[in-house]
Structure 1
């Protein structure tokens, strides 16, 4: 017989205090950061914390003029917050599934809307897909992350990884594309005939094509991006 007492609920859902990795999956949809110094996270992603932690919005010139310029072009989706101090920090984003990667002098490119957090040791650069900016609401930007350290990304439901091989390109819907290996540069196909769009959303008039060798991560969900900056 099921036990529905409050004590049983707490036992099943309480935090695991034995975990001490910098990034831990507290649940598949909540990231625990065992903070000892600094972490960069998506603005608005904090759901709880213990200890002495201070939160700051990314300052205008914090990462230099070039990144400030790119941020101005890409809108609210690139907003980061810096958490500093010591304690346990819990991050989440609209109930999306969290995946952690340990980069070892590797590179991964993440859709800007799907980046949850990364260690300060990681190098990053915002890249705006200008060709597609006028075709999709708010355009499409991504963040290239490289170096050594942990990165946490999010996806709606279970992600699927597709392997890209020479001579075998992979085509994806931009709204369902979460991340890809840093050595790949997607091209955009806009030659979809009008007949294929009948009864479908206009977002499917654009496709991303990945050629070469690497991987692409997609989600079973077409994300809709806002047309510009929003408050959070």
Structure 2
């Protein structure tokens, strides 16, 4: 499956004047505070200090803002070792200053969450921005190295603060209940409640049918009580070994 989203078809409506276009697409101050959704795919950060953002997500800014990529030791020795094992990491930069910062990620839909002493685990590729006061750490699933090459890393958030995550198109949340486990494709899994501890498993029949290199032969298995969020799109960053 291609990792490139389908192109957006051109508008079939009548042409509009330049004045109307500028007025329709103009940035608007909605008074929503630190994080404002300008559109479903543009996030405005009303910066007054520092913000953690995904590397490459800045598309524009107004004011006095400087950007610094996260240092290799900024998350501590434990997270450094997890980066080394996975070949991946939480690719962060710090935006510091005062002004309006506009973020986006390949046209993906943006969801702003306000965590209130709660725990959430998010696929590292789907984290767009979060307050520096929100504690986070890189987590890796058990038996990961035996299943995957290239790595699948997640970021666990515990506490209170604003968090912006992304999804290709509209996400869906599935409830996980005792006796009713949920199985998902890792490439379509965005986030899950922090009390769940998903396991990786292989489907032998799928592995045989699709080939050893198919990500669809590897699945995430959730059991207990909580929820898991999936998107209607497979981002190809996780593949089985031996393909």
Note whether the superposition's TM-score is higher than 0.5. Answer: yes
The alpha-carbon deviation at position 194 of structure 1 amounts to 4.7
Please state whether the residue corresponding to 1:37 is helix, strand or coil: strand
2:35: which partner in 1? 23
CA deviation string 1:75-127 (max 9, x = no partner) = 34521000111111111111111111100000100001111111011000101
The alpha-carbon deviation at position 74 of structure 1 amounts to 3.1
Bigger mean CA offset, 171-180 vs 8-17: 8-17
The alpha-carbon deviation at position 132 of structure 1 amounts to 3.1
TM-score of the superposition, structure 2-length normalised? 0.86
1:40: which partner in 2? 52
Query: What pairs up with 1:25-104 in 2 under 5 angstroms?
Result: 25-104=37-116
The alpha-carbon deviation at position 201 of structure 1 amounts to 6.9
CA deviation string 1:202-228 (max 9, x = no partner) = 11111111111111000011111178x
With over 3 angstroms needed to count, the CA separation of the structure-2 counterparts of 1:71 and 1:137, relative to structure 1, is closer
1:123: which partner in 2? 135
> How many corresponding residue pairs?
227
From 214, 218, 222, the equivalent of 2:226 is: 214
Q: Is the 8 A contact 2:54 2:128 kept in 1?
A: yes
Using the alignment, how far apart are the partners of 1:186 and 1:131 within structure 2?
A: 11
TM-score of the superposition, structure 1-length normalised? 0.90
The alpha-carbon deviation at position 17 of structure 1 amounts to 2.4
Bigger mean CA offset, 156-165 vs 1-10: 1-10
1:156: which partner in 2? 168
With over 3 angstroms needed to count, the CA separation of the structure-2 counterparts of 1:161 and 1:88, relative to structure 1, is same
Moved over 4 A (4+): 198-201
The alpha-carbon deviation at position 195 of structure 1 amounts to 7.4
Please state whether the residue corresponding to 1:36 is helix, strand or coil: strand
With over 3 angstroms needed to count, the CA separation of the structure-2 counterparts of 1:142 and 1:198, relative to structure 1, is closer
Query: What pairs up with 1:101-180 in 2 under 5 angstroms?
Result: 101-129=113-141, 131-180=143-192
The alpha-carbon deviation at position 10 of structure 1 amounts to 1.0
List gaps (5 residues or longer) in structure 1.
228-232
With over 3 angstroms needed to count, the CA separation of the structure-2 counterparts of 1:192 and 1:70, relative to structure 1, is same
1:5 aligns with 2:1: no
Please state whether the residue corresponding to 1:67 is helix, strand or coil: helix
Using the alignment, how far apart are the partners of 1:92 and 1:137 within structure 2?
A: 28
1:230: which partner in 2? none
Bigger mean CA offset, 133-142 vs 116-125: 133-142
The alpha-carbon deviation at position 198 of structure 1 amounts to 4.3
Q: Is the 8 A contact 1:40 1:80 kept in 2?
A: yes
Bigger mean CA offset, 69-78 vs 143-152: 69-78
